[in-house]
Amino acid sequence: MSLGDSPVKRKNDGKWFIDLTPRKGDRNRECPDPPGYSTNRQQLKEASGAAREGPDQQLINKRSWDIALGPIKGLPMNVFIMYMSGNAISIFPIMMVGMMFFRPIQAIMGIKNTMKMLDRADNKHFLTFVFAMGNLLAIGLAVYKCHGMGLLPTHESDWLAFKTPLERREFVSGGFSL
């Protein structure tokens, strides 16, 4: 291959450029397929068939596990934030506990969308169960934080408004005997 046949040519103005126009009879100049893409008809038939094998299905399963384990992976960060915010009743811990309640509840309410993302996985029902359990653990963590802050009515004194007043059975007056 001589310098004149090279796809990189030098113009007269001193700038470099690459000539990507195909020449007659030159089939080797086509760009190779990118990784994960193939124009081979046999591979396309196998991928669309019932047999789900190969690197594409492995990537789908790996991504599905990432989606299902997402709520569980967020629990350590929530525990750390709970520890750092303390048990005082102020705006930051209240906002944090509110977000710890509402995010998992929203995720559980939108579980249909998650199931659509997990549709092509091999074990989508188990992955959906893992996703739901991770969100329920996050709700349990929020309840634990509320208990630590004293927001849950767990003592008898929290229910005094609903307690009936004591009835007097004896009346004592003065210190004189009659």
Q: What are the pLDDT digits (tens) for 90-132?
A: 888 898 899 999 999 999 999 888 888 888 888 888 999 999 9
> How many percent of the chain have pLDDT more than 90?
26
Residue 50 domain flag = no
Q: Report the number of distinct structural domains present in the chain.
A: 1
Say what angle helices 124-149 and 91-109 make with each other, to 10 degrees: 160
Instruction: Sort residue 172 into left (φ over 0), alpha (ψ -120 to 50) or beta.
Output: beta
Query: Residue 17 pairs with which residues in a beta bridge?
Result: 9
pLDDT (mean) for 31-40 = 67
Residue 21 domain flag = no
Residue 25 domain flag = no
CA pair distance 119, 114, nearest whole angstrom: 9
Residue 42 domain flag = no
Q: What is the pLDDT of residues 61-98, one digit of tens each?
A: 888 899 999 999 999 999 998 899 888 888 888 988 99
Residue 68 domain flag = yes
Residue 38 domain flag = no
Residue 26 domain flag = no
The H or E element containing residue 8 is strand 8-10
DSSP 8-state secondary structure symbol assigned to residue 7: S
- Burial code (b: 16+ CB inside 10 Å, e: under 16) for 96-134 equals bbeebbebbeebbeeeeebeeebeebeebeebbebbbeb
Residue given tokens 């944090």 in the structure block: 96
Residue 46 domain flag = no
Range of the domain at 129: 55-152
- pLDDT recorded at residue 117: 83
Q: How many H helices and E strands in the chain?
A: 7, 2
